[in-house]
Amino acid sequence: MARRKARRWVSRQTTVRGVLPASFRGAARVHQWTRGVEGMTASAAEARAAMLARESAAATRRARFALMQKDSKRKAAESVQQEAQIALTQAVAAKSSARKKFALRAAGAYLPFAGIDITGLMVEGVGGLAAGLLVNVAVLARVGRTPNLTPEDLEALERAEAGLPEKFELGMTPRAFEKLLHQALTEDVGVAVYAMQVHPKDWGFEVVVVLNRQTPEKLSDSLDKLEACLPGVRTNSILLQQAAAARNECTLRIPGDDPWKAVPELPYRKPKSVSTNDVHKAQIGADMSGRILALPLKRTNANVVGKSRSGKSTMLRAILDALTATNDRIIIGIDLGSYGSGFGPYRKAMAAVARTPWEAREVLEWALAVGMNRPKLFDKFGMGLNWESSPERPGITIVIDEFPALVTASKREVFPKMDEESAEDKPLRLDELVQQIALTSAKSDVTLVVATQAVTKDRVGSNAWLSELPVQVMCACDTDDIKLIAGGGAMAQGWRPDRLLPAMGNAINDASVAYVLAGGDYCEPIPYRACILSDDEADIRARERAASGAIDLDPESAKFAGGIGVLPAGDDELPDDEEDQEPGGVALLKVARAIFEGAGNPSGLSPEDFYAALADEDPDTWDPANFEGRTASR
């Protein structure tokens, strides 16, 4: 900051705002004040007297050498002489009066300068005189700090000093852009503009628009048309934000070609350097002005929604970068859609990753048991009404990627038939387990971060509760998702993730850009972009955090749930036995074919005979003892 100010001060010296030009301008203004109105009046009177004296001399010459109308010319000359005499008398009087007032003002204006110089010379010699002169220059520069410029020239000067280009990326100055935007709003879009202020930014233009007895709803619905009326503006790039101060006021943001250059790389965080109490300060993104995005995830569930290639996984990995650096949280992943690849390198720093429905059930039942039973320990540990996580008693975060895949797996689950007496003990489906964790376990600091392509019924079934989670991160998604999450009138207020463009081919577009709803800190329709990190750097961080040691569940909570036997997160490859085996369906078909061939290819087998033959054919896999205690089948 100090270096930037110094560079700006040095560059200013070559402009009319430099110290020396300001000093000369200040000296002229001091002299002008010293002369005052009386001095200017005396100068004007003296100039008038001189002019009349010249006219009187000319009139006298004409009268002296006139051959005709001598009397009239002589009278005219006498009249001019009288006017000249009166003007001379007035000039002398005005000059005398001005001298007195000039002397008084000069004493007040110049004597302090002279006193400073003389005092410095007497006290410190030449050095004191030099110091006095510098003081005089500084005072005069202060007096002349404002240059005499037109508003257009002053705007150009301020932009040059701020390091802003003379022409913005859109190819026009702010005043020209204001004129074009005003014309587009009033004539093309048809809104009544009461007032408008254009503020140039490093990333583009920010425009405060005050409408005349209108809400911004019509403007929000016409952003596409507004873009068509502004040459050079990228498609779906204009952003609208309803002002909280007034219903008829809004802010338009018109970004240039690189609006996200203020978004930094994900900041480095040492292993176990972040606590749950500080996770809301851990930056995962930023807006166009560089304001950080950090989600409040303490005892709070979050939902990340975005269509394919919207950058949802990039946002999720930025969240994981903060979570895996905590010293008091157990991070567990569930990814049934891409076998854990959605977490990227960060899966190595997670306590476990569930990649199959069986593993997901084990994780969710374990987390639900901890979340529902921890309240029994609140009084024992003096925690009040909520679990306070610490390195000794960590919280738990279940990160679920590809939630629709989990919903699909839930529909395929088959449970044994139960009589009426035991119907209440029927196991919950996978998505029902997730819902129960969201409903019951936040106070125990067992929380969820869910990523899904949409929150509509066709994608998540009956799990509309996703749209009610306290933290909502909306990447590029559909209007139905916006209405479910933010309400029917949200789009008119500027919540427009439907206008974000997912990545296409090699074009990033608006991938990893999201609107965030998360309490009072994130309640305005401002888009943020996730901080990006290369895969190599993310891998280094993940390995470093994995090497720092796992965070274990506290013994008191472990009594409620025991442990989980999920595939360790740090394994880059499948275990040898899983890697070598054939897919379950193919292996079962081969065994069934062998059983029927051994039985002489009968037309059918009873279930009891078939199960017994399975156990005889492959006892390690199909022995009934292997399935004792399991309540659901693959």
Total-model pTM: 0.65
Do 385 and 291 fall into the same domain?
yes
Q: What is the pLDDT of residues 85-110, one digit of tens each?
A: 888 888 888 888 877 777 777 777 77
Give me the mean pLDDT over the 602-626 stretch: 69
Any domain includes 22 = yes
Domain endpoint, select from 119, 146, 173: 146
Per-residue pLDDT for 576 more than 90? Answer: no
Mean pLDDT score of the chain = 83
What residues make up the domain containing 461? Answer: 276-412+426-482+532-567
Q: Among the listed ranges 103-117, 291-305, 413-427, which one has the minimum average pLDDT value?
A: 413-427
Domain endpoint, select from 146, 168, 191: 146
Domain endpoint, select from 100, 120, 146: 146
- Which tops the pLDDT comparison, 136 or 424? 136
Using 50, 70 and 90 to split pLDDT, how confident is the model at 631?
very low
Beginning with the edge strand found earlier in the chain, give each strand of the sheet holding 292-293 in spatial order.
292-293, 285-286, 527-530, 513-517, 471-474, 302-305, 446-452, 395-401, 329-335, 352-354
Any domain includes 466 = yes
Do 594 and 539 fall into the same domain?
no
Q: Is 238 exposed, middle or buried, given 0-12, 13-18 or 19+ CB atoms closer than 10 A?
A: buried
Q: For helices 174-183 and 151-161, what crossing angle results, to 10°?
A: 120
313 contact partners, CB below 8 Å, separation of at least 6 = 342, 344, 401, 451
pLDDT value at residue 630: 47
pLDDT value at residue 393: 95
Q: Among the listed ranges 359-363, 365-369, 562-566, 599-603, which one has the minimum average pLDDT value?
A: 562-566
Find out whether 473 and 302 touch, Cβ atoms under 8 Å: yes
Do 55 and 141 fall into the same domain?
yes
Do 199 and 131 fall into the same domain?
no
CATH number at residue 328: 3.40.50.300
Q: What is the pLDDT of residues 209-243, one digit of tens each?
A: 999 998 999 999 899 999 888 877 888 889 999 88
Q: How many domains does the chain have?
A: 4
Do 459 and 361 fall into the same domain?
yes
Any domain includes 4 = no
Closest CA to 291 of 527, 532, 514: 527
pLDDT value at residue 335: 94
Most confident of 59-73, 435-449, 565-579: 435-449
Q: Among the listed ranges 114-118, 298-302, 396-400, which one has the minimum average pLDDT value?
A: 114-118
Across 422-497, where does the E strand assignment appear? 446-452, 471-474
Q: Among the listed ranges 51-65, 331-345, 485-499, which one has the minimum average pLDDT value?
A: 51-65
- How big, in percent rounded to 5, are the helix, strand and coil portions of the chain? 50, 15, 35
Q: What is the pLDDT of residues 252-286, one digit of tens each?
A: 999 888 889 889 999 999 999 999 999 999 999 99
DSSP annotation string for 42-96: HHHHHHHHHHHHHHHHHHHHHHHT-SS-HHHHHHHHHHHHHHHHHHHHHHHHHHH
Do 403 and 545 fall into the same domain?
yes
Per-residue pLDDT for 568 more than 70? Answer: no
Find out whether 436 and 448 touch, Cβ atoms under 8 Å: no
Amino acid at 215: T
pLDDT value at residue 59: 82
pLDDT value at residue 603: 65
pLDDT value at residue 162: 54
pLDDT value at residue 5: 67
Per-residue pLDDT for 467 more than 50? Answer: yes
Per-residue pLDDT for 581 more than 50? Answer: no
Give me the mean pLDDT over the 107-121 stretch: 79
Any domain includes 360 = yes
Per-residue pLDDT for 625 more than 70? Answer: no
Per-residue pLDDT for 562 more than 90? Answer: no
Do 167 and 286 fall into the same domain?
no
Provide φ and ψ at 179, rounded to 5°: -65, -45
Provide φ and ψ at 425, rounded to 5°: -90, 10
Per-residue pLDDT for 534 more than 50? Answer: yes
Q: What is the pLDDT of residues 341-383, one digit of tens each?
A: 889 999 999 999 999 998 999 999 999 999 999 999 999 999 9
Do 345 and 380 fall into the same domain?
yes
Do 133 and 160 fall into the same domain?
no
Instruction: Extract the tokens encoding 141.
Output: 């520069």
DSSP label at residue 504: B
Any domain includes 474 = yes
Using 50, 70 and 90 to split pLDDT, how confident is the model at 67?
confident
pLDDT value at residue 8: 66
Any domain includes 263 = no
Q: Among the listed ranges 55-64, 390-399, 532-541, 581-590, which one has the minimum average pLDDT value?
A: 581-590
Do 179 and 132 fall into the same domain?
no
pLDDT value at residue 417: 62
- Count of alpha carbons within 13 angstroms of residue 23, beta-carbon side: 11
DSSP reduced 3-state for 127: helix
For the beta carbon of residue 529, count every other beta carbon within 10 angstroms: 23
Find out whether 579 and 629 touch, Cβ atoms under 8 Å: no
pLDDT value at residue 249: 93
Any domain includes 572 = no
pLDDT value at residue 574: 47
Percent share of the chain, pLDDT over 90? 41
Do 116 and 20 fall into the same domain?
yes
Per-residue pLDDT for 618 more than 60? Answer: yes
CATH number at residue 174: 3.30.980
Any domain includes 511 = no
Q: What is the pLDDT of residues 301-316, one digit of tens each?
A: 999 999 999 999 999 9
371 contact partners, CB below 8 Å, separation of at least 6 = 396, 437, 440, 441, 442, 444, 446
Do 342 and 291 fall into the same domain?
yes
